Amino acid sequence: MLKSNFILNPIRSIEYDEDVNLGMLKRSLRTVITMLGLWAGFPNIDYSYIHGKKSRLHLGADCSTMNSIFNVISGHIYLGDHTIVGHNCMFLTGTHNFIDGKRISLSKPDKSPEVPKNGRDIVIGKGCFIGSGVTIVGPVNVGDNVLIAAGSVVTKDIGNNSFAAGVPAKVIENHT
């Protein structure tokens, strides 16, 4: 893993390669080329950014996270196996505590911390497709095999086998 909070797009399964060693060689070369491209100033290379501890981001097998932002300050983020995330999505666990419309640190500095450390987890099930530009605000649970339309804002739980869209996102169809 890189020493910065940028992670390379997790590589999809190497099951398509007949030779596992060849697949690992391709993955290693892709990593080096991507790092060199980012260093040279090419921002259109697929990468994701983690705001907070990397250990709070849990990616399943064969996930893809195209240019996503993962804010893990106030909770963990779990992406299930075979989940695909479109370009420029945001997963936001972070929040600020307010009293009377002011941040808690401005109104009463001796009160509880301004940003909670836990309790706002985002859990995405297996086999999901999250369209480009989706924002998911924790705490929220998204079931297995869910499709979320591009540009949606998810603020509430979505059950298994659903199609959700809108701001805020609502279930449009449920395939049970």
Q: Which residue has the higher pLDDT, 110 or 72?
A: 72
Domain definitions of the chain by residue range = 46-174
pTM for the whole structure:
0.73
Calculate mean pLDDT across residues 74-83: 94
- Percentage of the chain exceeding pLDDT 90: 47
pLDDT tens digits for range 27-77 = 777 777 767 766 776 655 557 888 888 899 999 998 888 889 999 999 999
* Fold assignment, 46-174: UDP N-Acetylglucosamine Acyltransferase; domain 1 (2.160.10)
The pLDDT of residue 122 is above 80? yes
Query: How many of the other CB atoms lie within 10 Å of CB of 130?
Result: 28
- Which of 47, 62, 48 has its CA nearest to residue 16? 62
> For residue 78, what pLDDT is reported?
97
3-state secondary structure 81-120: CCCEECCCCEEECCCCCEECCEEHHHHCCCCCCCCCCCCC
Assess whether 76 carries a catalytic annotation.
yes
Q: How confident is the model at residue 94 (pLDDT cuts 50, 70, 90)?
A: confident
Q: Lowest mean pLDDT: which of 90-94, 102-106, 123-127, 151-155?
A: 102-106
Mean pLDDT, the chain, rounded, equals 82
Q: ∠152-154-159 over CA atoms, to 5°?
A: 115
* pLDDT reading at 100 higher than 60: yes
Q: Which runs of E-coded beta strand occur in the chain?
A: 6-8, 47-51, 57-59, 64-65, 69-71, 77-79, 84-85, 90-92, 98-99, 102-103, 122-124, 129-130, 135-137, 140-142, 147-148, 153-154, 162-165, 170-174
14: three-class secondary structure by DSSP? coil
How far is 43 from 64, CA to CA, in rounded Å? 18
pLDDT of residue 44: 54
Residue among 76, 87, 96, 175 flagged as catalytic: 76
Count Cβ atoms below 10 Å from residue 65 Cβ, excluding itself. 26
